[in-house]
Amino acid sequence: MVATKKIFAIVLAGGEGKRLMPLTADRAKPAVPFAGQYRLIDFALSNLINSGFTQIVVLTQYKSHSLDRHVSQTWRLSGLLNSYVASVPAQQRLGKRWFSGSADAILQSLNLIRDEKPDIVVVVGADHVYRMDFRDMVQAHIDSGRGATVAAIRQPIELSDQFGVIQLDKDDPTKIAEFLEKPINAEGLADAPHEVLASMGNYVFNTDALIDAVTGDGERTNSNHDMGGDIVPDFVSRGDAGVFDLKNNKVPGSTDRDRYYWRDVGTIDSFFEAHQDLISTLPIFNLYNSEWPIFSQQLNSPPAKFVRDGKGNLGRVVDSIVSLGSLISGAHIERSVLGAWANVESGAQVVDSVLFDRVVVGPDATVKRAILDKEVIVEDGAAIGVDHDRDRARGFTVTDSGLTVVGKGVRVTR
């Protein structure tokens, strides 16, 4: 039935991502690099494309240059069959104001929906790591006959204040009875008191119902700017919102391990943990599922190369991901993810770390439990993540869990 409906997809990609600073100092959160060769937005876009949805707009706003460039260079669909991924910046179409929230971004972009005249609009966030076949969700939405469907996954109760929390109807467990955006005190699930059912920030709407909701006067909530804070609660209050639990999703090539995987990488710690997931021997999230590929930029780069150094030291690379263009010479790399064109020199150690593109780690330097943004240079013998007081004194961010983050292009001296 999905095939007979015309589907239009909107990717909300204007968020600021304050909690990922300094990684978002210069780029929107969806443009933050992930797993060496990807950007966060590649996961949402790959899921949409693999689901067969090929009319996609990406609504951008905050520091959108890097994101626009990535979308326009990487996500070029054929011009045939009216397929596209178009990056659309905030344009002040409704007066002199930028988007004041995710629903306002849709309101200000209604011309895009009206031009395409879809039956159904799929709205997804741009900053999560997961695999999802949206066809299953759209089918469940159509079968339900409701105006809106919210994708959901169980999460630990202590994270409730970061998510929209869903209570299901007692008589009809496909219907949402209550939706609280980021509650301080959430009630646990009856069968799992330490978990809640969280909104994944992905929605399916009947086109007319979505247009009515974002153009409405927001009477109930005094605002209609935010999807999770205003629009979804409005549908729920009218008894017109259903749920799609990710556990009902079947992605081709998925295993039992990664079928129910979804990571909100909104904080430095969760961003780091998602990388740790990838480098384990049997990762929960499998980047190598060729039946549901995660697409990204095609780097025009040579392969990664590992050589002994001038003194004949072999070095060692284990439990790590090393991207194209990298050159590792007699260095020790363990439990780390290296972006493209990393250069790690003789006697250097990179352990439990994430390096973005074009990072240089000089001879005998040490990098431990650190995230180094693009083009960071760690000079000969310098250390990061070893003395946190010194890291802070040098202006680096150190999280409560002891991760050091060095911003783009910084030169780290001894």
Annotated binding site for alpha-D-glucose 1-phosphate: 164, 181-182, 199
- Min separation Cβ 283 and ligand ADQ, Å: 22
Which residue in the block uniquely carries the two structure tokens 């969760």?
Answer: 270
- Min separation Cβ 106 and ligand ADQ, Å: 8
Write each residue from 239 to 278 as x if it is in contact with ligand ADQ (CB under 6 A), else as -, in one continuous string: -------------------------x--------------
Closer to ligand ADQ by Cβ: residue 16 or 143: 16
The DSSP code for 400 is T
Query: CA separation (Å) from 291 to 35, 123, 156, 233, 255?
Result: 19, 24, 30, 36, 12
Sheet with 366-368, edge to edge strand ranges: 316-318, 332-334, 349-351, 366-368, 383-384
Q: Could you tell me how far CA 349 lies from the centroid of its own chain?
A: 29
Site for ligand ADQ in 96-115 (CB under 6 A): 99, 101-102, 105
What's the longest Cα–Cα distance across the chain?
73
- Min separation Cβ 59 and ligand ADQ, Å: 5
CA dist., res. 257 & res. 68, Å (int): 33
Q: Does 13 bind ligand ADQ (CB under 6 A)?
A: yes
Q: Does 233 bind ligand ADQ (CB under 6 A)?
A: no
Whether the CB-CB separation of 165 and 203 falls below 8 Å is answered with no
Q: Does 352 bind ligand ADQ (CB under 6 A)?
A: no
Closer to ligand ADQ by Cβ: residue 228 or 242: 228
The contacts found for 91-98 with CB under 8 angstroms, 24 or more apart, are 98/61
Which residue's C-beta sits nearest to ligand ADQ? 228
Whether the CB-CB separation of 201 and 227 falls below 8 Å is answered with yes
Taking contact as CB under 6 A, which single stretch among the options 18-26, 74-82, 183-191, 226-234 is the one that binds ligand ADQ? Answer: 226-234
Cβ neighbours, 10 Å, residue 308: 12
Write each residue from 306 to 345 as x if it is in contact with ligand ADQ (CB under 6 A), else as -, in one continuous string: ----------------------------------------
Size of the site for ligand ADQ (CB under 6 A): 26
∠ CA 122-260-173, rounded to 5°: 65
Q: Does 198 bind ligand ADQ (CB under 6 A)?
A: yes
Kindly list the residues in this chain that would bind ligand ADQ in the complex (CB under 6 A): 12-15, 29-30, 59, 61, 99, 101-102, 105, 125-127, 163-164, 181, 198-201, 226-228, 264
